[in-house]
Chain A
């Protein structure tokens, strides 16, 4: 009964250590669950100018532009969350002109090629553009998601953020891959 003895030993160890039960984290790290959590974190480390909230001071608006890869995940992740005292809302947007009403826009990878048009419509509006396509930052987006050996990482184009009058916290910049792309 070696298996039994080992099991007993394992149990004793388990019981002695699991006493310090602590807040739990993710059970499964699905790509878009991680990315949804990143989006929330980006909002915490970016400072928008006051004009960004002129139309709607109560809400922090997260938008998804184009084919949405998140499905229900983004809504689940952000439900009940607040950023700087503003309740987070999620919108799906198909019309470029409506993007000005968002503080953060996630541009699906399929829509990455529309970036020049998006930039034109936004002008220098204070909107944080986050793209799913790694080349998104090089072409003028502020943040891109990149997959590095199974980990979700992100790249930042500081010039593009400046152009949108957004201040990115140094802590976020330290963790990012910095890309010198189009402003």
Chain B
């Protein structure tokens, strides 16, 4: 493991904090965040949760929406983003090993799940290779996240292709709400991390925030014993500036990261034993810079927002190195028309330039360098009817991808009816699509495995692109009800039915002889529209506040998922649990103490080779001094070791997820 490269930097970081900590003054009045200390003007400057491109009350969203706040993230005790998503009703997160996760919503879970859209501060972080997300590269410290909004179900009409099964919108913290800084040190079984931040006002009306984080995760073990060789180290930092400008607001932000991870992958070869589990270290370096400007025009009550970002990433692994540069310009405008129409429209252009250097015998794209455009425009009208009790949203996005040369229209109709102000029924019908990523549209060959035959000639199984393919399409029907009958009780239920057509997978194609380096046969697996799939289910979430100090929350979901994909290589039957449930008890047992208990249940995953499991996590937080708190965590307490999911596609190792204990100290400066 090449950990030594990162370590000096991390220790320097730690020492700096410790040395400086001694001189930090203790004049901070309280660790609790008392908003009553703010002036009226400051209160008016605070923002509330935003969902679905326009900001609205959570209860009024005409979709299955769930929000994790900074407090939720803290109380979850999670140390990384995928782990924090475990708490979301209806979302399936399975940890494959120390550095790999499979995350999906409403079916199709696997490590390369490609039907979710993930945004970080408006930047699309999905890989253009396969239109899914490499979560291992998204190691943002949770203390830097303000909130995560999760939309289950299609969001294509606003967010474009690939938002087929849901949208995960991550909003990081600005320097607006706190000042000073903080340092957090986490130590736990097989994992160490440190996060530091500084923030506050900077001149007139603007604020800054700057942060740095380092983490180190040890290897887990393989089911049969032995190291899973899956540890990782990462360093990450970022800075942002927020402020007012004329009638609007601006935001400038930038960040850098470096991640290295060990992995074991099934590596094919042409002679016996035809495949070996070999180390396949991954190295990931990247950075981004983004500028966003929004302007209010009081005369027309409208708001315009413009965002430009540049994202660079270099990913290096056994199969090769890929560099990707993304430049994106996104404009949107919200214009109320008369009393009852609220028009939202926007347009986006994204240019993606990549360069691939590989051992072509194992993996190659043709062309190996490509610069392509993605262009889209959307419009949505929200119509208020019946004295603003009924809202109807009609909209569509039109998107053109140069990689596939395809146009996609993604229409949706959503309606919401406020039976009472705190009681909402909503329904939607939408059609969405997933376009092929670069590694699907331009795949020359990917050698996955070798099969020995009786004739003595080994057969190489090589994946390649298919001809004449279109986009995957999905039509979704949703119905939901949300209610807060009393202060103590909140209830949310959503039902859905999704029909997928032209599901893309790989089908058995031509068989060709090859002479180099030794005589063998190549069995191509060609990209194909393999068939159809259906997903239907029910998701339920309930929060019950027993007293100001104790609250319960319960969520449960059921998914009926079936595919009809013939003999295609990728099969998703049994990779998403039929049933999931979780129960949380959150309490403030005594002044200065916080306790959290979370229990999860997940059905077995026959398709990923994982048994059903129950997981129990406990967290206890003690405020030692107003500016200093200590957190103790016990994770996966019921079970010493179980695996949550394998990696069926690459045959990678499903590590045993261990029981772990940890402590964390947090200073407010």
Q: Which of A3-27 touch B at CB < 8 Å?
A: 3-4, 6-8, 10-11, 13-15, 17-27
**Contact between chains at B422 and A69 (CB < 8 Å):** yes
Shortest distance in angstroms between B318's beta carbon and chain A's nearest beta carbon?
22
User: What 0/1 readout, one digit per residue, does chain B (250-277) give for beta carbons within 8 Å of chain A?
Assistant: 0000001110000000000000000000
A45 CB contacts on chain B under 8 angstroms: 40
Q: Which of B188-227 touch A at CB < 8 Å?
A: 196-198, 200, 208, 210-212, 214
Number of interface residues of B (CB under 8 A): 81
B49 CB contacts on chain A under 8 angstroms: 30-31, 150
Give Cα A36–Cα B200 distance, bound, in whole angstroms. Answer: 24
**Contact between chains at A25 and B33 (CB < 8 Å):** yes
B178 at the interface (CB under 8 A from A): yes
How many CB-defined contacts (below 8 Å) exist between A and B? 212
**Contact between chains at B179 and A151 (CB < 8 Å):** no
Interface residue from A10, A23, A33, A40 paired with B239 (Cβ < 8 Å)? A10
**Contact between chains at A29 and B28 (CB < 8 Å):** no
B549 at the interface (CB under 8 A from A): yes
| Chain A residue, CB-CB nearest to B45 | A151
B518 at the interface (CB under 8 A from A): no
B256 CB contacts on chain A under 8 angstroms: 2-3, 6-7
Give Cα A69–Cα B9 distance, bound, in whole angstroms. Answer: 47
User: For B55, B212, B236, B420, which residue has the most chain A Cβ atoms within 10 angstroms?
Assistant: B212
Also in contact, A7 and B237, with CB within 8 A (given A41-B43, A67-B484, A69-B422): yes
**Contact between chains at B285 and A2 (CB < 8 Å):** yes
Shortest distance in angstroms between A64's beta carbon and chain B's nearest beta carbon?
8
A167 at the interface (CB under 8 A from B): no
**Contact between chains at B181 and A25 (CB < 8 Å):** no
Shortest distance in angstroms between B34's beta carbon and chain A's nearest beta carbon?
8
Q: Which of B33-47 touch A at CB < 8 Å?
A: 33-38, 40-47
Interface residue from B6, B485, B545 paired with A71 (Cβ < 8 Å)? B545
Give Cα A151–Cα B484 distance, bound, in whole angstroms. Answer: 22
A17 CB contacts on chain B under 8 angstroms: 198, 200, 208, 210
User: For B16, B46, B238, B256, which residue has the most chain A Cβ atoms within 10 angstroms?
Assistant: B46
A41 CB contacts on chain B under 8 angstroms: 36, 40, 43
**Contact between chains at A69 and B35 (CB < 8 Å):** no
**Contact between chains at B29 and A149 (CB < 8 Å):** no
**Contact between chains at A71 and B178 (CB < 8 Å):** no
Give Cα A133–Cα B418 distance, bound, in whole angstroms. Answer: 12
Give Cα A28–Cα B200 distance, bound, in whole angstroms. Answer: 15
Interface residue from A6, A11, A26 paired with B178 (Cβ < 8 Å)? A26
Also in contact, A30 and B548, with CB within 8 A (given A14-B196, A23-B37): no
Q: Which of B555-606 touch A at CB < 8 Å?
A: none
B393 at the interface (CB under 8 A from A): no
B238 CB contacts on chain A under 8 angstroms: 10
Give Cα A77–Cα B123 distance, bound, in whole angstroms. Answer: 35
| Chain B residue, CB-CB nearest to A77 | B36
**Contact between chains at A24 and B196 (CB < 8 Å):** no
Give Cα A72–Cα B545 distance, bound, in whole angstroms. Answer: 8
Give Cα A68–Cα B16 distance, bound, in whole angstroms. Answer: 47
**Contact between chains at B48 and A147 (CB < 8 Å):** yes
**Contact between chains at A175 and B40 (CB < 8 Å):** yes
**Contact between chains at B285 and A3 (CB < 8 Å):** yes
Interface residues on A, range: 35 or more
Give Cα A151–Cα B41 distance, bound, in whole angstroms. Answer: 11
**Contact between chains at B257 and A3 (CB < 8 Å):** yes
**Contact between chains at A24 and B668 (CB < 8 Å):** yes
Which of B19-27, B124-132, B373-381, B530-538 is the contact stretch? B19-27
**Contact between chains at A18 and B484 (CB < 8 Å):** no
**Contact between chains at B44 and A175 (CB < 8 Å):** yes
**Contact between chains at B177 and A7 (CB < 8 Å):** no
User: For A23, A64, A112, which residue has the most chain B Cβ atoms within 10 angstroms?
Assistant: A23
B510 at the interface (CB under 8 A from A): no
**Contact between chains at A132 and B421 (CB < 8 Å):** yes
**Contact between chains at B548 and A75 (CB < 8 Å):** yes
| Chain B residue, CB-CB nearest to A32 | B48
**Contact between chains at A30 and B181 (CB < 8 Å):** no
| Chain B residue, CB-CB nearest to A88 | B36
**Contact between chains at B669 and A37 (CB < 8 Å):** no
B48 CB contacts on chain A under 8 angstroms: 29-31, 34, 147, 150-152
A110 at the interface (CB under 8 A from B): yes
| Chain B residue, CB-CB nearest to A73 | B548
Also in contact, A21 and B669, with CB within 8 A (given A1-B5, A132-B421, A175-B41): yes
**Contact between chains at B210 and A23 (CB < 8 Å):** no
A69 CB contacts on chain B under 8 angstroms: 422, 484, 487
Give Cα A19–Cα B24 distance, bound, in whole angstroms. Answer: 7
**Contact between chains at A4 and B6 (CB < 8 Å):** yes
B423 CB contacts on chain A under 8 angstroms: 110
Give the top 7 A-B pairs by smallest Cβ distance, nearest first: A68-B487, A72-B548, A109-B421, A37-B35, A14-B198, A150-B55, A18-B181
Residue pairs across A and B with Cβ atoms less than 8 A apart, 30 shown, are A3-B236, A4-B235, A7-B236, A7-B237, A8-B12, A13-B198, A13-B210, A13-B239, A14-B196, A14-B210, A17-B210, A21-B179, A24-B178, A25-B178, A29-B177, A30-B48, A31-B57, A40-B36, A41-B43, A110-B420, A133-B421, A147-B57, A150-B55, A151-B44, A151-B45, A151-B46, A151-B47, A151-B48, A152-B43, A152-B46
